[in-house]
Amino acid sequence: MRRAMVALVVLVLFLSLAGFSALALTGEDDPLDAQPEPHTPSPSGAADPMPDPPPALARFYDQQVDWQPCDGNEDNECATLEVPLDYARPAGDSIDLALLRVPARQPELTVGSLVVNPGGPGGQGTTYAAGAATTFGEALLQHYDIVGFDPRGVGDSAAIDCLSDGDLDTYLATDPDPDTAREDAEFQRQLSELGAGCVAKSGALASHVTTVEAARDMDVLRAVLDQPKLDYFGASYGTKLGATYAQLFPGNVGRMVLDGAIDLSIGARALGLQQATGFETALTAYVANCVDSGNCFLGDSVEAGLDRIRQFLAAVEQTPLPTNGERVLTGGSAYYGLITPLYDRQYWNLLSLSLRQAFDGDGSALLLLADAYASRGPKGYLSNTIEANYAINCLDDPSFVPLAKVPGQLAAFQKASPTFGAVFAYSLATCSGAVARSSVKAPHTSAEGAAPLLVIGTTRDPATPLRWAQAMARQLSSAILVTRDGDGHTGYHADNACVDAVVEDYLVDGTVPAADVDCPAA
């Protein structure tokens, strides 16, 4: 995914700081009315022997991690996992990965460990697991130890570092669709500084944060958790991570759910075009909802509302808005602030609040949304989400369109998305400043022999369009496609009982749908 996945827990924190806590945008779901019947636990792969580790990696696979109560929440358990920096040289340097485990609420019914990843790349699995009570349904919380890990280069796992906080502020505030020679030069300078900074500040690590290496780390984690097979829930980019694991270790796959799936074969240009279309679709749905509600502050029609937003973005590029702090709302931060609430329909009211404020000349709320996207707090960045996202994406696919050739792409992108097209077109140049390189090759197989894989797509998902889930389902031989009709990013635990039942029945009881599943709008 481009840049980062929105961390909704962080978003709520920022909204509280801004005085928006009364909106009560998130909360723990009520327990299921009908509790699962007690059954003899049958963890996926429970009857299977533990796979033998590669001899050169035995010390990593055989390690015993020291689970201790986590700081700040003693109900959860934290530990570190040692893995080789370079799997081609396992006797060389190693790095530590941060782990967090939320024990099952009913240990006597435990199915096993469910490893989870929130996406990004750059999202912290430890944070995702720590928020399990608001992210996963009661059935999973009762029957699984929820285990999150920060992938290599992310968060507390040998975090990749590329820029100072001040320089990262400047990078994110830079006009994301330059239209003058001066803006072009600044755009390229920022990309070059980012790429060079990753190597200067992070050294060899900058070349060893690929998705393939993170997937290999997951197999070490599987062994350390004493699981013959890996049960896994991945969202957004986490679907790519999970699919890569299945391609590398098909025989070690247990029950796997890939929600908000990514097309494994897609190139940078097609990815940008389709994601631009997805965000345009989501923005259009937001404006339509405003208009249909009556007395919409954006205008009397969908087209009028979209035009109002586009005019606002163009104006902020020319004249940044003041905020209630020292920073201003620029064209770059306005763009990130706009797309952040499009990830989840429940944040549309917050987008309206922020836009109303911005139309009145105050960019404070929209800047807070942009900060949430970048995991930035009042005193600096809470994680390295942006830097990790850049480093991982540009190692996985270092291809780029030279900045001078991007204007030739504008017509197609603006047709796909009049609001966001130019920004996505210029994102094609993102890796032009990348210095780090990797020799690790991604697998290109159908994961033949893997257990059934649930692949979930949502019809109006802005970040991972439905067509990507359809593509992944075709690419993985044991995939079963689950389609949710709805808005927002990802499909599980999104107020759709059909999707939730399919996921939880599979993970808890191993019930495999007989065919692809279409879940109607809730």
State the Cα–Cα distance between residues 120 and 133, nearest whole angstrom.
21
Determine if residue 269 is left, alpha or beta; phi over 0 gives left, psi from -120 to 50 gives alpha, anything else beta: alpha
Residue 291's CB is within 10 A of a number of other CB atoms, namely 18
In this structure, the strands spanning 380-381 and 94-102 are unpaired
What's the CA dihedral at 309, 168, 131, 215 to 10 degrees? 110
Out of 236, 364, 427, 432, which one is annotated catalytic? 236
> Which helix (H) or strand (E) element contains residue 74?
strand 73-84
Out of 143, 208, 489, 493, which one is annotated catalytic? 489
- Given a contact cutoff of 8 angstroms between Cβ atoms, the answer to whether 231 and 507 are in contact is yes
Catalytic, 236? Answer yes
Counting Cα atoms < 13 Å in the Cβ hemisphere of 497 gives 4
DSSP annotation of 81: E
State the Cα–Cα distance between residues 268 and 320, nearest whole angstrom.
30
Q: In this structure, what token pair is assigned to residue 282?
A: 């989501």
Out of 145, 161, 461, 500, which one is annotated catalytic? 461
In this structure, the strands spanning 479-487 and 112-117 are unpaired
Catalytic, 461? Answer yes
Give the three-class secondary structure for 56.
Answer: helix
Main-chain phi, psi angles of 254, to 5 degrees? -100, -120
According to the 3-state scheme, what is the secondary structure of 400-419? Answer: CCCHHHHHHHHHHHHHHCCC
Q: Closest by alpha carbon to 15, among 372, 325, 373?
A: 372
In Å, how far from its chain's centre is CA 312?
28
Q: Closest by alpha carbon to 264, among 447, 449, 50?
A: 447
Q: In this structure, what token pair is assigned to residue 52?
A: 């033998």
Report how far apart, in Å, the C-alpha atoms of 388 and of each of 1, 53, 195, 463 are: 12, 29, 11, 18
Determine if residue 465 is left, alpha or beta; phi over 0 gives left, psi from -120 to 50 gives alpha, anything else beta: beta
Main-chain phi, psi angles of 39, to 5 degrees? -150, 160
Could you list the active site residues?
Answer: 236, 461, 489
